[in-house]
Every structure is written in structure tokens, then in C-alpha cells.
Amino acid sequence: MLKAVEWKGETFQFLDQTLLPLEEVYIETSDYRKVEEAIRQLKIRGAPLLGVTAAYGLCLGALEGEKGKVGDFFSFLEKVDVDLRTSRPTAVNISWALDRLKKIWEQDMEDWSPRQVVNSLIDEAKKIEEEDYKNNENIARYGAQLLQDEDRVLTHCNTGSLACSGWGTALGAISWAVLQEGKKIQVYADETRPLWQGARLTAFELMKNSIPVTVICDNMAGYLMSQGLVDKVIVGADRVTLQGDAANKIGTYSLAVLAHYHKIPFYMAFPLSSVDFSIREGREIPIEERDPEEVIAPRGIKITPPGVGVRNPAFDVTPHHLITALITEKGIVYPPFEEVLLNWKTEARQNG
């Protein structure tokens, strides 16, 4: 299983995913700014992993602040928090993880030494990573229940161990079905333009695990469905609302519409940390608009006429009525989603 990030005492190591699949390069840093930059540049990506990474990024900032070269320790933590929190606006896992750490350094701050704060933050960040690993396993196990032997499964973007701390979410379910349950699964991986996370990362992961995978261009999915070549679609999610509307990598909504038309089950897999309990509808989700250069010059190769207009939203929102089921670490949820999600929120509060 690939390990995309690792805490190494007082430094943070991550796999530069922009170089995959041609190069496997790990970068080690003690500077939270390098972590923030890596998030913005998609060197580190995947909603669950972004939560883990943001937590460790704050720990690096706390270590820097402890050395006393940044002025007031807690004011500096506020700055680090804001920098990391605004690195990518759509994935709610970043703010979810930082909120957990903020509760630590905001309580009785005057009574705590910087070293006590640092130690507590690192402990909490490790706990977030451990929870993500366990949640990945549960999501993978539940998701695998929906996949049958000989299924042909279409997925979009990358939702495996490169996007999480363990098995992954949607891709984790596929991998679990094959590697743990011995099912024969044929995977179709959308290339996922404009940055090809499917062609570069999902194909890379599956081939590492000897799982059959065929890469298709994003605009080929409808044809495959019309030919009866797709049995199920399973994807991840970066932010989910109370009623079950879900933001995921751009192109997901199109797949959901196609699957609905062809009567193909459409599943979304994610940890509950990706649920934004403060909003009910998908139109409230902020959508990140990325650099036009990603479209104009992928991998530095210009493919459009000079001066052409470009839109580059990184995500779209799939409405809940197009989703067959949600797969989380607590189980599989069928429509209507809101009541179950609210119940789980209440349970989480009661459990502390």
C-alpha cells in the first residue's frame, strides 16, 4: 500500500503526486509554508489526506513558533491556521482537521507553555491520521459489499491510498473487493482532465496492486454505458451537504447524469469528515477555480490558441437524487440521506 505522507518526529514527508507516474519523489520539510504550497499545487491531494496534511502542517507551524522567532506564539498559530485553511476552499476536511487542533490551542492558552501546545497538537494530528486509516478500511469494506464478482466498474479522479491514509475511499472499495475478497473486477478509470488524476494516479495504484484497469478519456464514459460495458460507478467526494448533494472532481456530475439515464448504480464514498453539517444544499458549496494554465498548457505543452478564454472549476456538485447510495465508515446510506447523517452527527457529539 502506497504511503503518500508521513510524520517523522519534527518533519513532514510527502510524495510529490504531480510527478507520478513517471517519478516517485518524496520531499521532507520542516516548513509549514512548503506544506501549504504542496496543497495548493496538488502535490498533496485527496480530501481525507488534505485533512491529515493540514493537521501536520499546523504542527510544523507550532514547532516554528516554539523557537520564539515569530513574535507571539499564539498569534503565529492563528496565521498558520488561516494560511492552511485557505489553501483549497472546496475540501471541507482541511477546516474540519484544523478546527480539531484549534480547540486544543485555544483552551486555557495562558496556562500552557508552547511545548505543551506542540506536544498536544502532534498527538491530535496523529490521532486524525490513525482515525483516517481505520475509516478507510471500513469504507473499503462496506463499499466492497456493493461490488459483485465480474463487475465492470467506472471510477473518476483518484480516491485510493494516494488520497488517504490507508486503503482509500471509492478506489479502496475496489481494491478491497479484489485483494481481500478475491472478486474479479474490471476497472475503467476516467483520465480526469485537466490534470489526469485518473490516468496518472488511479491507473498507477491499480497496476501496483495487479488490478486490471483500462484508462478512458472523460468523454468516452457515455459510449461505454450505452454499450452495456459498465455495471457500476463509484467515486469519492470532497464536501457533502446534509441532504446528500456532493462536490467531487469536475466531471463527476456528468457521470451521475449518464449513470441515471442508463440505470446504472452511482455510489459516492467518503469519510464523515467530508460532510459539511453547516450547509444543506449543494449550491452553498464554494467551488475552487484553478489556474487556466492547467487547461491551456498541460504538462507545459500549449494546446490552445493564444489569448483564448478558459474556465477551470476544479469541482462540480452532484445532486442527491442522482446518487444511489453513500458509503461511509459507519455504513451504506440509501436515500433519503439527511436523517441518517443528522443522527450520526448527534452520535458523534454524544461520544465527544
pLDDT for 272 equals: 94
pLDDT for 42 equals: 96
Q: Is residue 351 predicted with pLDDT exceeding 70?
A: no
* Strand, helix or coil for residue 329: coil
pLDDT for 76 equals: 92
Q: Mean pLDDT over residues 36-53, rounded? A: 96
Residue 240 β-bridge partners: 246, 275
pLDDT for 216 equals: 98
CATH of 145-350, one of 3.40.50.10470, 1.10.1270.20, 3.30.365.10, 3.30.70.2750: 3.40.50.10470
Q: Mean pLDDT over residues 116-120, rounded? A: 92
Q: What is the pLDDT of residues 172-189, one digit of tens each?
A: 999 999 999 999 999 999
Q: Is residue 109 predicted with pLDDT exceeding 90?
A: no
Q: Is residue 74 predicted with pLDDT exceeding 90?
A: no
Residue spans per domain, the chain: 5-136, 145-350
Q: Mean pLDDT over residues 54-82, rounded? A: 90
Q: Is 50 exposed, middle or buried (0-12, 13-18, 19+ CB in 10 A)?
A: buried
Question: What is the average pLDDT value for the chain, to the nearest integer?
Answer: 95
As a whole number of angstroms, the distance between CA 330 and CA 293 comes to 40
Q: Is residue 110 predicted with pLDDT exceeding 70?
A: no
Predicted TM-score (pTM) of this structure: 0.94
Output the nine-digit C-alpha cell for 336.
433519503
Residues in the chain: 352
As a whole number of angstroms, the distance between CA 244 and CA 229 comes to 28
pLDDT for 126 equals: 98
Q: What is the pLDDT of residues 244-257, one digit of tens each?
A: 999 999 999 999 99
Residue 153 β-bridge partners: 187, 232
pLDDT for 84 equals: 97
pLDDT for 2 equals: 83
**Confidence category of residue 16, pLDDT binned at 50, 70, 90:** very high
Q: Is residue 111 predicted with pLDDT exceeding 80?
A: no
Could you tell me what percent of the chain has a pLDDT over 70? 97
Q: Mean pLDDT over residues 156-166, rounded? A: 96
51-55, 113-117, 275-279: segment of lowest average pLDDT: 113-117
Number of H helices, E strands in the chain: 12, 13
Q: What is the set of active-site residues?
A: 238
As a whole number of angstroms, the distance between CA 245 and CA 326 comes to 10
pLDDT for 128 equals: 97
* Strand, helix or coil for residue 119: helix
Q: Mean pLDDT over residues 161-179, rounded? A: 97
- CATH number of this structure's domain 5-136: 1.20.120.420
pLDDT for 68 equals: 76
Radius of gyration (Cα) for the chain, nearest Å? Answer: 20
